[in-house]
Amino acid sequence: LAVQSAEPRKMVAMALKEIAQNAAKIGNLNISPDLLETLMKDGKS
């Protein structure tokens, strides 16, 4: 599957784009700096 081979940062970017496109349906969304840091790690650490 393409999803399995995609870079984590690209997957996060795609997910955030999809969230933004549906922002009108979301009442409240909190994304902590810690969550973003975890999502953005490249898996080498």
pLDDT tens for 1-40 read: 556 667 778 888 888 899 999 889 988 888 899 988 887 7
* C-alpha radius of gyration, the chain, whole number: 12
Percent of residues in the chain assigned helix, strand, coil, to nearest 5: 65, 0, 35
Domain locations in the chain as residue ranges: 2-40
pLDDT of residue 17: 93
pLDDT of residue 18: 92
pLDDT of residue 10: 84
pLDDT of residue 2: 59
Distance CA 12, CA 8 (A): 6
